[in-house]
Amino acid sequence: MTSTNTTELLESLAAEIGENVYIDVAKWHLYLSDAKMDRLVAEKLYPLIVDKTVNEDQVLEILTSIPVKIASGRKEIPLIDLLPLQCQVNLVDILEKYQREI
């Protein structure tokens, strides 16, 4: 896989994540693209796709390791705690789709 293909795949993955996965706060949905977190999440999860090791436990572990700063950075909350269950399922589905395509 060339660098260009990797970059294109990563950008495509980030776009799909950004459009389909959101943070839920008080019933407000902030999509990861709007929160400027889509690229970060894609970069963290991309190795699972390349290694063909996408599974729910690993995805959840990575989401747990991504801090989200709130209140001007006074606090951090793991991303996993802000994603509704359906978004977690959607994210795993997206990753499995990309894993099949490469």
d(CA 99, CA 2): 17
Residues 6+ away with beta carbon under 8 Å from 95:
45, 48, 49, 54, 59
DSSP secondary structure letter of residue 84? -
User: For 2-13, what is the mean pLDDT?
Assistant: 83
pLDDT digits (tens, 9 = 90+) for 30-64: 999 999 999 999 999 999 999 999 999 999 999 99
pLDDT digits (tens, 9 = 90+) for 75-92: 999 999 999 999 999 999
Residues 6+ away with beta carbon under 8 Å from 36:
none
Q: What is the maximal distance between C-alpha atoms in the chain?
A: 43
The H or E element containing residue 48 is: helix 38-50
Q: Which residue(s) pair with 30 in the sheet?
A: 23
Question: What tokens appear for 24 in the block?
Answer: 């839920």
pLDDT above 60 (res 93):
yes
Sketch the domain layout of the chain as residue ranges: 3-101
